[in-house]
């Protein structure tokens, strides 16, 4: 036995310390040392341990023997578990070293008593005693909703219904509240002003008819056939001024008949030309409108009142075949209706399109033309008209043949040409060199005034409202036959509230416009309503689980469902194909009742006389947009109703509209929810709403394409809501919006972050569409600078040539051709 062994057995500390220095620590020991340092720093005294035992175990008197027994049992359990397989739980404080656990077992138990989430050592009996009371209390307070139990109840209800038995629901069991109605109480602080009066504009004049005007009798008879007999106020004031040949700026409310105000004088002037117009005479009048639907509608109106077969009317718009349009222009057109982009395209690239004979230019819905960014196009169109006119007037042979007359004084003067007759419309005289310009708008803004000053030097201003000139220019004029209402709802309740409104309106013969912010929202809601709202299960009131109607069974949807919403749904937005847009617009106008889900592309100039309800699901981008949306109803003196959806954070919109003397009345949703409860066969409004919301949510779970469409629709809404103007942003503030609740309003269960991931994964690899540079209309203002070509290096002959050289160019060495076999 060496001295070192003797010292080690006798317990000499110096020997053990030297051995510890020589031996490297193990991984488990290093982990134990770290946990030892943590546990030792948090070790509490015996008094604190006894106090914790009082709280946890409920012992009234601190008995030292009890604590000793608990500590001893804990240490014995630790020794048993040390021989068991290694515990992989991250919550355990120590490794598998049983000796270390035996030494510090007591400190673990005392430390773990202070916090439920910390480790109680490995004493499972002690943990069971401490957690038993908490678990029993939590289960009594809020019982969990087990999905498997819900499925069993659903299957049992189906079997009982198939056997003809009545399904009994236990009324004592209260189902857990759906998160749809778990919202805080919010106050509606905006009060509707019932005493204030809006600005009223009389639509019809005092018993004056089209027959009283100096126009052709055939035009009057065609107007009577389509029920246009009495003149409106704007027609009575503007038609005589247009027939006199004046440039006119017209402002009138929506639905007051501004289209006929220029259509009737144009047709009357062209039919009065003698001899008759030929196709070779070219375009005489051009009408510029902002949207394709308005171009088609104006073309149809001209076709109804035009019975003169020699007057050819046509239209140009985006989405149509350009070659077909070129053929029509080559054959000859007299009245051309076009959108700005396609018109300018043909003016620059179609040689057969001549504009030197254009003597009338109409800019309809001028405010919308400026809002859509067509100002640059309109300026370019007017410049092309002026250039074509100058080129047509230039005739060098006429200058050479010009004759001079000599006066008595001997002075020579050029033969004075006859001055043009400005007392009549320029269209009546084919030789006239003047151009008449008409500009029409429902609102008068600074941009409209600037456009009027550019397009026409001298013009007559006509306003259908006499007192408008003295009133505040910010005032909006809306037909008095339209009832304007607002609905304040929680963000989560938007989807089923809109569904309840559509169910209610479908019970009456009404045409409804539903305006939404983006085209993706239009596509999604159209698919959702046509698939899962129009038809519902037949036995929806009998199939219940936890007192809530079950509507999630899509296995035999076609066999077990019936039509609930007896109306036809349509959709219309700018991203649709032109042929589809034309077909949808024509069918919706011809239908007796229907619902058109659309964007603001339909908000300007579209005339659907039987439309009696407007629903604005998203707030407008400007006050003018609100005016034009509401103007789709109440046209030509007919009655209509307008609703706008607002959240509690958007109530200031009502106050903003009152500044423009537009007063909205609050409307409650109880009537709509009552009809929803009747359709769902559920007396409780909340349960009926929850059942419909669950149907939409489960539909998105089963239909992957519809789920993607919902995610894209929400993403497009977030971009739309974040792009409000500075004037409207305090009302529609993206920072105040609860994005999680808005996700629920799209029928999604995911969080906004999860929805963003889905959208990113779908559009991450898509390429941007390539533009056709051949059809480029405007030149870029800042042309990219051409890169300077690299300079050729000039070799200095004097430096590279020797004085003894022959002056001949050096021979180039020929490279030897190597075969592949040699290289191998």
pLDDT of 250 above 80: yes
The two tokens of residue 480 are 């008095």
* Shared domain check, 681 and 563: yes
Q: Is 438 helix (H, G, I), strand (E, B) or coil?
A: strand
Helix (H) or strand (E) holding 640: strand 640-646
Q: Which of 140, 165, 190 corresponds to the end of one domain? A: 140
* 404 within some domain: no
**Taking the CA of residue 637 as centre, how many other CA atoms within 13 Å lie in the half-sphere pointing to its CB?**
9
User: What does the mean pLDDT of the chain come to?
Assistant: 75
CA distance 490 to 500: 15
Residue with the bigger pLDDT between 144 and 32: it is 32
* Shared domain check, 456 and 564: no
* 792 within some domain: no
* Shared domain check, 273 and 305: yes
* Shared domain check, 497 and 356: no
- pLDDT tier for residue 299 given thresholds of 50, 70 and 90: very high
**Taking the CA of residue 552 as centre, how many other CA atoms within 13 Å lie in the half-sphere pointing to its CB?**
18
* Shared domain check, 595 and 520: yes
pLDDT above 70 coverage of the chain, percent = 63
CA distance 282 to 284: 6
* 398 within some domain: no
pLDDT of residue 255: 79
Among 9-13, 111-115, 290-294, which range has the highest average pLDDT?
290-294
Which residue has 């196009």 as its token pair? 377
Contact 499, 565 (CB under 8 A): no
Residue with the bigger pLDDT between 328 and 141: it is 328
- Of 690, 694, 649, 721, nearest to 489 by C-alpha is 649
* 354 within some domain: yes
pLDDT of residue 122: 45
Q: Which of 667, 687, 702 corresponds to the end of one domain? A: 702
Q: How many residues does the chain have?
A: 824
The two tokens of residue 489 are 């709802």
Flag the least confident range among 130-139, 162-171, 763-772, 814-823. 130-139
What does the CA dihedral 668, 192, 616, 467 come to, rounded to 10 degrees?
Answer: 150
* 329 within some domain: yes
**Measuring CA to CA, how many Å separate 173 from each of 85, 143, 145?**
45, 10, 11
CA distance 426 to 248: 14
For the segment 645-653, the average pLDDT, to the nearest whole number, is 93
Sequence-ordered list of residues with C-beta below 8 angstroms from that of 123, at least 6 positions apart, any chain: 70, 73, 74, 77, 109
* Shared domain check, 432 and 530: no
- Of 384, 375, 420, nearest to 286 by C-alpha is 384
Q: Is 709 helix (H, G, I), strand (E, B) or coil?
A: helix
pLDDT of residue 548: 54
For the segment 112-116, the average pLDDT, to the nearest whole number, is 43
Contact 681, 549 (CB under 8 A): yes
pLDDT of 314 above 60: yes
Q: Where are the alpha helices (DSSP H) in 507-600?
A: 519-532, 578-590
* 725 within some domain: no
pLDDT tens for 734-791 read 999 999 999 999 999 999 999 999 998 876 555 556 666 655 665 554 555 555 666 6
- Of 296, 420, 292, 407, nearest to 359 by C-alpha is 420
Which residue has 């947009």 as its token pair? 625
Provide the residue range defining the domain that includes 665.
Answer: 482-702
Q: What are phi and psi of 706, to 5 degrees?
A: -70, -35
For the segment 338-342, the average pLDDT, to the nearest whole number, is 93
pLDDT above 90 coverage of the chain, percent = 35
CB atoms closer than 10 angstroms to residue 501: 25
pLDDT of 815 above 90: no
pLDDT of residue 465: 74
CA distance 295 to 606: 10
Pairing of strands 335-338, 285-288: parallel
What is the CATH classification number for the domain harbouring 429?
A: 3.40.50.300
What does the CA dihedral 657, 659, 662, 668 come to, rounded to 10 degrees?
Answer: 50
pLDDT of 420 above 50: no
For the segment 128-135, the average pLDDT, to the nearest whole number, is 47
pLDDT tens for 197-233 read 677 677 776 678 888 888 999 999 999 998 888 888 8
Q: Is 761 helix (H, G, I), strand (E, B) or coil?
A: helix
* Shared domain check, 546 and 445: no
CA distance 740 to 554: 27
Provide the β-strand partners of residue 484.
Answer: 642
* 175 within some domain: no
Sign of the Cα torsion 583, 584, 588, 591 reads positive
- pLDDT tier for residue 304 given thresholds of 50, 70 and 90: very high
Gyration radius of the chain's alpha carbons: 42
Query: pTM of the prediction?
Result: 0.67
Q: Which of 83, 105, 140 corresponds to the end of one domain? A: 140
Domain count, the chain: 3
- pLDDT tier for residue 54 given thresholds of 50, 70 and 90: very low
* Shared domain check, 350 and 255: yes
pLDDT of residue 6: 47
Q: What are phi and psi of 572, to 5 degrees?
A: -155, 125
Helix (H) or strand (E) holding 405: strand 404-406
* Shared domain check, 487 and 525: yes
* Shared domain check, 121 and 52: yes
* Shared domain check, 564 and 622: yes
CA distance 93 to 121: 8
pLDDT of residue 84: 44
Flag the least confident range among 43-52, 291-300, 633-642. 43-52
Starting at the edge strand that comes first in sequence, how are the strands of the sheet with 436-441 ordered? 313-316, 335-338, 285-288, 360-363, 436-441, 248-251, 460-463
Sequence-ordered list of residues with C-beta below 8 angstroms from that of 482, at least 6 positions apart, any chain: 630, 633, 634, 639, 640, 641, 642
- Of 608, 391, 617, nearest to 497 by C-alpha is 617
CA distance 52 to 46: 10
- Of 608, 627, 435, 618, nearest to 510 by C-alpha is 608
* 776 within some domain: no
pLDDT of 270 above 90: yes
* Shared domain check, 686 and 616: yes
């Amino acid at each position: 036995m060496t001295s070192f062994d003797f010292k080690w057995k006798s317990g000499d500390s110096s020997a053990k310390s030297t051995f510890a220095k020589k031996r490297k620590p193990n991984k488990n020991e290093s982990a134990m040392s770290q946990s030892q340092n943590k546990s030792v720093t948090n070790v509490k005294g015996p008094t604190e341990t006894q106090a914790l035992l009082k709280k946890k175990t409920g012992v009234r008197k601190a008995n030292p023997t009890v604590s000793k027994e608990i500590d001893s049992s804990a240490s014995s359990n630790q020794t048993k578990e040390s021989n068991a397989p290694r515990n992989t739980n991250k919550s355990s404080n120590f490794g598998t070293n049983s000796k270390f656990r035996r030494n510090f077992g007591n400190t673990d138990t005392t430390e773990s008593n202070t916090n439920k989430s910390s480790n109680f050592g490995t004493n499972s009996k002690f943990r069971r005693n401490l957690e038993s009371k908490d678990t029993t209390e939590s289960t009594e307070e809020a019982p969990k909703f087990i999905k498997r139990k819900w499925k069993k109840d659903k299957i049992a209800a189906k079997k009982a219904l198939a056997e003809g038995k009545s399904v009994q629901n236990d009324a004592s069991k209260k189902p857990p509240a759906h998160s749809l109605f778990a919202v805080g109480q919010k106050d509606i602080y905006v009060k509707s002003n019932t005493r204030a009066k809006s600005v009223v504009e009389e639509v019809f004049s005092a018993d004056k008819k089209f027959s009283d005007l100096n126009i052709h009798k055939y035009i009057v008879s065609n107007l009577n056939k389509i029920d246009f007999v009495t003149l409106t106020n704007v027609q009575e004031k503007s038609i005589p001024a247009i027939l006199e040949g004046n440039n006119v700026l017209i402002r009138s409310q929506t639905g007051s008949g501004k289209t006929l105000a220029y259509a009737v004088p144009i047709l009357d002037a062209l039919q009065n030309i003698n001899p008759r117009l030929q196709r070779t005479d070219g375009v005489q009048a051009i009408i510029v409108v902002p949207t394709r639907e308005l171009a088609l509608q104006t073309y149809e109106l001209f076709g109804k009142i035009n019975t003169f077969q020699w007057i050819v009317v046509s239209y140009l718009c985006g989405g149509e075949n350009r070659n077909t349009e070129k053929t029509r222009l080559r054959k000859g057109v007299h009245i051309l209706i076009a959108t700005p982009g396609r018109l300018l395209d043909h003016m620059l690239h179609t040689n057969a399109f001549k504009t030197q004979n254009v003597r009338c230019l109409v800019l309809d819905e001028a405010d919308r033309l400026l809002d859509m960014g067509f100002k640059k196009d309109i300026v370019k169109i007017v410049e092309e008209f002026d250039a074509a006119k100058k080129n047509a007037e230039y005739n060098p042979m006429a200058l050479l043949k010009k004759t001079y007359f000599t006066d008595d004084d001997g002075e020579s003067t050029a033969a004075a040409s006859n001055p043009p007759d400005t007392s009549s419309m320029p269209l009546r005289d084919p030789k006239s060199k003047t151009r008449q310009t008409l500009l029409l708008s429902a609102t008068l803004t600074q941009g409209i005034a600037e456009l009027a000053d550019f397009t026409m030097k001298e013009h007559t201003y006509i306003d259908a409202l006499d007192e408008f000139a003295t009133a505040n220019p910010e005032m909006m004029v809306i037909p008095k036959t339209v009832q304007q209402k607002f609905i304040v709802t929680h963000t989560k309740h938007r989807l089923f509230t809109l569904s309840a409104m559509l169910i209610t309106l479908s019970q009456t013969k009404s045409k409804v416009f539903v305006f939404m912010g983006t085209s993706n929202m239009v596509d999604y809601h159209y698919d959702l309503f046509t698939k899962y709202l129009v038809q519902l299960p037949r036995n929806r009131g009998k199939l219940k689980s936890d007192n809530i109607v079950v509507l999630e069974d899509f296995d035999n949807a076609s066999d077990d469902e019936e039509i609930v919403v007896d109306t036809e749904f349509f959709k219309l937005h700018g991203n649709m194909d032109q042929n589809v847009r034309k077909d949808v617009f024509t069918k919706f106008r011809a239908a007796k009742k229907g619902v058109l889900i659309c964007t603001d592309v339909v908000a300007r100039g579209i005339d659907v006389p039987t439309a009696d309800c407007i629903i604005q699901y998203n707030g407008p981008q400007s006050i003018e947009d609100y005016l034009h949306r509401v103007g789709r109803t109440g046209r030509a003196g007919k009655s209509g109703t307008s609703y706008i959806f607002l959240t509690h954070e958007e109530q200031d919109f009502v106050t903003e509209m009152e500044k423009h003397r537009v007063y909205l009345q609050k409307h409650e949703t109880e009537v709509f929810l009552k009809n929803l409860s009747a359709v769902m066969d559920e007396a409780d409004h909340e349960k009926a709403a929850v059942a419909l919301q669950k149907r939409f949510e489960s539909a998105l779970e089963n239909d992957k394409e519809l789920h993607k469409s919902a995610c894209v629709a929400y993403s497009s809404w977030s971009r739309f809501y974040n792009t409000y103007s500075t004037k409207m942003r305090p009302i529609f503030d993206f920072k105040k919006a609860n994005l999680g609740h808005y996700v629920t309003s799209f029928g999604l269960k995911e969080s906004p972050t999860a929805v963003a991931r889905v959208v990113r994964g779908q559009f991450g690899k898509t390429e941007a569409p390539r533009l056709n540079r051949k059809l480029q209309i405007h030149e870029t203002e800042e042309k990219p600078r051409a890169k300077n070509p690299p300079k050729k290096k000039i070799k200095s002959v004097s430096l590279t040539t020797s004085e003894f050289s022959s002056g001949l160019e050096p021979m180039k060495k020929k490279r030897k051709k190597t075969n592949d076999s040699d290289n191998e």
